[in-house]
Chains A and B, each alone.
Chain A
Amino acid sequence: MEAFPDADVDVSGDDGQHFRAEIVSARFEGLSRIQQHKLVQEVFGGELGGAIHALSIKTSTPEG
């Protein structure tokens, strides 16, 4: 993902509608969980709630 050049990203989901993303990035440091998830949601833009019915997000920082 371009938005997270340093990130360790693991996206899974094989039905084309439900996805699960685990992102480990230093960019999340100091951000609330809401802010972390919003960063990830921005990457998916208008697809969320549209073509992508469900994206499960788990964010963490490299140390956390």
Chain B
Amino acid sequence: MDNAEIRDFIDSSIKENEVMLFMKGTPEAPACGFSMRTSGALNALGVRYAALDILPDPRIREELSGLSGWPTIPQLFVKGELVGGCDIVVEMYENGELAELLGVDMPEEEDDAPAEDEPVELPQQQSNIPLENNLKG
């Protein structure tokens, strides 16, 4: 692949995917904290998105930044338009603008907080610890 082909590929992935994220690593294994927070915001909203790891070839990043005029990674595109990098995406996630842009509802609870009507799972008694040890002290 030469640079022009890479640029065409990037251009068509932006056009063909309504929500397109260029990141370091993958949503399952982000290779940078900024990419992790950006894909995390999309995951929290439960939207489907395409993600491209820019790390395998340095030319991907060169061509992407040339196209977008944005120097850093990650870069999120929605409906063919650059939305921003990590700072903007996280800020928009927090104030609800991202959910609005993507046409979804904000999650009502934080990811790590159990919903109110869900039973809270209590830690199981470890069977190899004699009960009396727990009663002492």
Contacts and interface: CB of A to CB of B under 8 A. Distances in A.
A36 to B, nearest CB: 9
Interface residues of A, number: 12
Contacts of A62: none
A41 B85 CA distance: 12
B88 interface: yes
Contacts of A58: 87, 91
Contacts of B92: 33
A34 B84 contact: yes
A28 to B, nearest CB: 13
Interface of B: 34, 61, 65, 69-73, 82-88, 91-92
